[in-house]
A = this chain, B = another copy of it.
Amino acid sequence: MNRWYLDEKSLPDAWFNVLPRLSVPLDPPLHPATRQPVTPEDLAPLFPTALIEQEMSQEPWVDIPGQVVDALRLWRPTPLVRARRLEEALHTPARIYYKDESVSPAGSHKPNTAVPQAYYNKIEGVRRLSTETGAGQWGSALCFAGALFDLEVKVYMVRASFQQKPYRRVLMETWGGSVEPSPVDQPDHPGSLGTAISDAVRDAASRSDTHYSLGSVLNHVLLHQTVIGLEAKEQLKLAGEDGPDVVLAACGGGSNLGGIALPFVPDEDVRLVAVEPTSCPTLTRGKFEYDYGDVAGLTPLLSMYTLGHDFVPPSIHAGGLRYHGDAPIISHLVKQGRMEAIAYPQGKVFEAAVQFARTQGTVCAPETGHAIRAVIDEALAAKEEGVEKVILFDYSGHGLLDLAAYDDYLSGRLPD
C-alpha cells in the first residue's frame, strides 16, 4: 500500500489543545504599551470571542463546529502516503510516511485554520476580514475560506511579491478576494511582511465591520492545525505502525509543524523536529525572549525564539519560512527540550526536493523541501545505524506556483 485514507466520518470532531498538557506553562503575551498580560478585551477589536477564548483555553479538547467540519470535508481527511520509491532510492530500512496537506484547494495546510477563522467571524456578525500575505499562501487560503462563508476578504500583499508573483494574486481574486500591494501609502516601497501586517491591522482597527486574521504563530492557529497530527495517528495505525519514531516539519511561524507535531507531544518517546532555513535560523540561532510579532511593534510581545523584530531575512524562495520569530508554543517546546531544531541552506533543500520529485512524482513547495531534506538525512542515518525507523513528516504544500525557484536551482542560479 502507498496511501491510507480515513472515512470522512473519521475527521476529528475536536482539536487537540497542547496548553493544558505542558508541564511548564507558556509565558503570557504582554501588552506592547503596558507590558502587562494581554486581556481578552485588548484583543476584541481584532478577533472574534471564540478565537480569543481558544487562544487562552485550558480545555484539553476543543469541539470543531459542524459547519467547519462540513467545509473541511471538501478535502479532509487528507491522505497519509508512504514514500516507498524514495525509500528504495535511498536503500534505507526506514519507513517514510507523509501527511499530504497539498491536496487542499489552496494547495497547503493553511485552509485548516482559514476555514474556522472565517466561520467564527461570520457567526459573530463580521462581514469582512483583512489580512497580510507574503508570497501568497495564507492570503489564498483566507480568500478560499471567505468564499465558502460569504465574507469579503481584503489581502495586503508584500509589493515585491504582488509584482513578481501575479499568479497568487489571481488565485485570490478567483475566489473573490481583493488584493492590494503593501505598503499602501508608499508606491515605490517593495514592502515586507511587517508593512503588510501593519496595513491589515490598521484596516481592521478602522472599520467596525472588519476583523483581522492571522495565519500562523498564535495558539488558536496551531490548535486548528492539529487535525493533521490527529488524522496521521489514526492512519499510521491503519498502516500497521505502532507510531512514528520521529516527526518532522518545516518551521516558519510554526503552524505546519505544530499541526503535525502537537498531538505527539504526550508520546514521550517520539522525537519532534523543527526544520528551518539557515538564512532565517530562529530556533537554532535566535534568542529566547519577549519580542514583537511584527516589525512596527504594534502586536503584543510574545515569549519566543527571535532574531529580533527588525531582522530582515534574505529573500530565499521559501517565503513562508522568512519570519524573525516563532510560535510561542513551538519556542516553548524547543526551550524545554521536548523538540529539536535543525537548519539547512536552500541549495541542499532543492537537491532534496528534486530527488523527491523524480522518485515520488510530486513537486513540493520550497518550504516543504526543508522537511524532505531532513527526512532524507534521517533515513540515511537509519541506514548507517541499520535501524527500522518510522519517519513521519508534513507535506505542507505543492510547488506548482514556485516553479521559478526550481528553474533557478536547475540552472545553477540559486544562492544558499
Q: Write the residues of chain A forming the contact surface with B, with a CB cutoff of 8 angstroms.
A: 1-3, 5, 8, 73-75, 85, 103, 105, 107, 144, 147-148, 166-167, 170-171, 173-176, 354, 357-363, 398, 400-401, 403-404, 406-407, 410
Contacts and interface: CB of A to CB of B under 8 A. Distances in A.
A147 to B, nearest CB: 5
B410 A170 contact: yes
B406 A174 contact: yes
Contact of A170 (B1, B74, B404): B404
18 contacts: A1-B8, A2-B8, A2-B73, A3-B8, A3-B73, A5-B5, A74-B360, A74-B361, A85-B148, A166-B403, A166-B404, A170-B404, A170-B407, A171-B400, A171-B406, A173-B406, A174-B410, A175-B358
A52 to B, nearest CB: 28
Given A8-B2, A410-B173, A410-B174, A75 B361 contact: yes
A170 B403 contact: yes
Given A166-B403, A174-B358, 15 more contacts: A2-B8, A2-B74, A5-B5, A103-B103, A147-B361, A166-B404, A167-B400, A167-B403, A167-B404, A170-B407, A173-B410, A174-B354, A176-B358, A398-B400, A400-B401
Contacts of A400: 107, 167, 171, 398, 400-401
A103 B362 CA distance: 10
A315 to B, nearest CB: 19
A406 B170 contact: yes
Contacts of A174: 354, 357-358, 363, 403, 406, 410
Contacts of A403: 166-167, 170-171, 174
A249 B218 CA distance: 44
Contacts of A103: 103
Nearest to A361: B105
A359 B175 CA distance: 9
A107 B363 CA distance: 11
Contacts of A85: 74, 148
Nearest to A398: B400
Contacts of A360: 74, 105
Q: Chain B CB within 10 Å — which of A75, A171, A361 has the most?
A: A361
Nearest to A147: B358
A160 to B, nearest CB: 19
A389 B3 CA distance: 33
Contacts of A148: 85, 361
Nearest to A77: B3
A141 to B, nearest CB: 11
A188 B5 CA distance: 51
A317 to B, nearest CB: 13
A167 to B, nearest CB: 4
A69 to B, nearest CB: 11
Contacts of A1: 8
Q: Please list the 10 inter-chain residue pairs (A to B) with the smallest Cβ-Cβ separation, ordered nearest first.
A: A105-B361, A170-B403, A167-B403, A170-B407, A147-B358, A400-B400, A5-B5, A105-B362, A174-B406, A74-B361
A363 B410 contact: no
A66 to B, nearest CB: 14
A171 B73 contact: no
A167 B359 CA distance: 20
Nearest to A83: B74
A361 B75 CA distance: 9
A363 B2 contact: no
Contacts of A3: 8, 73
A170 B411 CA distance: 10
Contacts of A170: 403-404, 406-407, 410
A105 B85 CA distance: 14
